Structure 1
Amino acid sequence: MRVPSRSPGQPGPGISPAAPARRRAPSALPRRSATPAPDLDAYRAAVADLLVEVGALAGAPGPVARQMLVDARLRDPAIAAVLDATPQGLVGARETLLLEMARYQPNARSSAADLTALVRIYLLSRIDVMWWRDTPTFRTDDQVHASSDLVDLEWLRRRDLLRFRYTEQPTTVLGRGLRAVHRRLRPDATPRTAGLLFRRTRREVVALLNDIAREFAAATPPATPPLWVTSLVRSAEHQHRLRRLGYAAMVPSGHCLGWAVDVEMAWFTRFGVGDTLAELLLARQRAGEVNVVDEGQAWHLCVAPGARRRLRRAYEAEMGV
């Protein structure tokens, strides 16, 4: 399935109910100050330049030199424009990143293998929260389970309506034991991931993943496994649990807004198709459909607001609703 062609843009804001009823002359009407959207190409390029400089200081003792560099570079107009448009604003985002750097401790669980990766993941994921800054956060696990904005993947899977795969996170001792035995017997049969704690996501995300999965299947040899999803929506409650376990779970996060998803990348290199999948995802980013963040084993995707309407229509057409 190819998603439908781009739909018209969202309508502008309506007239406030509190507006005075008396009609004023056109010359007296107030002018709206239109703030141009940040240039995301310039932002990504500025972040890439910053990462080169941070990497060059890898041998410096302690994080202080890199913190000073990052603090200075965040004032770059291309970077500042995006950070200032996030809910935290430039000052809040700057303080959060510097604190993340100060607290950083490498560990096997974290997708941030070093400080450079931490800076990359944090800064590029700010595009997500800038896009969806007015979207309420799923604060608790119960809110994720109860939300009517999300659909159950298992219901769709049983009806053969999903073109991608996932595994659920075991919740019992027996389940974890069976998972460990399976991994010992067939260590490369599936990606090494904890699995989904929440098998729920937005309808638009389902349409996006189905579409990418079909493109991936068409571009790879027949024996290649389908696209594999490692994480979908998360509650803020769960995000903080992941942080306590040592994962690079950024706050705020597109996952907690329901618009982000992680797809397995490293596992597909053993089939020789990792670069193919990477190019498919980056092509979607160049088309303005998603934001992409390289997180190592998995790549993070977030749906762009401009793609929401056509993805919703694609979902409804495919599911027959």
Structure 2
Amino acid sequence: MRVPSRSPGHQPGSAVASAAPARRLPPADGRRPGPEQPDLAAYRTAVAELLVEVGALADAPSTTARQVLLDQRLREPAIAAVLDATPQGFVGARETLLLEMARYQPNTRSSAQDLTALVRIYLLSRIDVMWWRDSPTFLTDGQVDTSTDLVDLEWLRRRGLLAFRYQEQPATVVGRGLRAVRRRLRPDATPRTAGLRFRRARREMIALLNDMGREFAAAARPGTPPLWVTSLARSAEHQYRLRRLGYAAMVPSGHCLGWAADVELAWYRRFGARDLLADLLLARQEVGEINVVDEGQAWHLCLAPTAQRRFRRAYEAEMGV
């Protein structure tokens, strides 16, 4: 069975990468950085230690102390190596984090329930943009809708080719009303999520999510619902829209590169499968297949470049293309 590269009626388009230069932290000894990749295990450990200190300074009067702490800790080699390898460079990443913290206002929509969560989400998601720094950004909604690098999920779902579930955002007032009625009648039937704004994804991401979905289904108890995906590719335009609504939508983002997804976690507690799914995700991170960010209700994941070819081949083999 051959799978179309885009939805019927769409015209191909291309994403455009930002041409803004990155400011980088110069090496202390004046030498150019070597070709080796940053140590991600050391980075995650250093971030975890930093989060403990940020949590201890969470009260409002500690703003200056937090800034001093971050200025010192972000320069530690394990953290600086990753930030310096992002498109923004060390200086840009540091300034963005400080600005995010200064603007932070807790709200029910945001996955960052406190400042510690905000710092965790921002720093761990920098691995995504470091990995895919040369990948073009989907700047507009139109680019996501028409890119030939993305595949329409609905076409695959109708043919039983997906091992995970999702729901789309209602496009009309009537649709939103019907969704609200269903939630009142059956509040726990589905995760409490807005749904996908774009039902399109890279082929490699589909193969990854299918593989994860099959693994989860095999390990979970009978009656556990399939893996539920809450977000996939997004445009930078939509990312800023989410920010205006109060969501912790980081910029730049792996979602806007097409290499990230969010999967529901909290909903699976009622099926006794939340910790199982978390362990499966962390095991894949441990072997270097994905990056994982705990965002509370949903967890964010990003495919590693080293796994791209394997999952592209898996997609082609599974779909017969």
Whether TM-score is above 0.5 comes out as yes
TM-score (norm 2): 0.89
C-alpha displacement of 1:222: 1.1
Matched ranges for 1:1-321 at <5 A: 34-59=34-59, 61=61, 63-321=63-321
Gaps in structure 2 of 5+ consecutive residues: 1-31
Go from structure 1 to structure 2 and tell me whether the alpha carbon gap of 1:91 and 1:273 turns closer, same or farther (over 3 Å shift).
same
Which aligned runs of 4 or more in structure 1 are off by greater than 6 angstroms?
none
C-alpha displacement of 1:67: 2.2
SS at 2:165 equivalent: coil
Provide Cα deviations, 1:98-150, integer angstroms capped at 9, x if missing partner: 00000000000000000000000000000000000001100000000110000
Give me the whole-angstrom Cα distance separating, in 2, the residues matched to 1:316 and 1:254.
Answer: 23
Percent identity between the aligned chains?
Answer: 80
Give me the whole-angstrom Cα distance separating, in 2, the residues matched to 1:172 and 1:67.
Answer: 44
Which letter maps to 1:83?
L
SS at 1:90 equivalent: helix
Give me the whole-angstrom Cα distance separating, in 1, the residues matched to 2:63 and 2:309.
Answer: 43
Which letter maps to 2:121?
I
Gaps in structure 1 of 5+ consecutive residues: 1-31
Give me the whole-angstrom Cα distance separating, in 2, the residues matched to 1:310 and 1:58.
Answer: 43
TM-score (norm 1): 0.89
Provide Cα deviations, 1:200-225, integer angstroms capped at 9, x if missing partner: 00000000000111110111111000
CA RMSD of aligned residues (A): 1.1
Contact kept? 1:71, 1:98, Cα under 8 Å: no
Go from structure 1 to structure 2 and tell me whether the alpha carbon gap of 1:91 and 1:162 turns closer, same or farther (over 3 Å shift).
same
C-alpha displacement of 1:57: 1.4
SS at 1:109 equivalent: coil
C-alpha displacement of 1:33: 7.7
Structure with max Cα Rg: 1
2:10: which partner in 1?
none
SS at 1:269 equivalent: helix
Contact kept? 1:125, 1:293, Cα under 8 Å: yes
Give me the whole-angstrom Cα distance separating, in 2, the residues matched to 1:68 and 1:223.
Answer: 50
Provide Cα deviations, 1:65-118, integer angstroms capped at 9, x if missing partner: 222211211001000000000000000000000000000000000000000000
Give me the whole-angstrom Cα distance separating, in 2, the residues matched to 1:59 and 1:173.
Answer: 41
Give me the whole-angstrom Cα distance separating, in 1, the residues matched to 2:196 and 2:207.
Answer: 18
SS at 2:300 equivalent: strand
Contact kept? 1:231, 1:262, Cα under 8 Å: yes
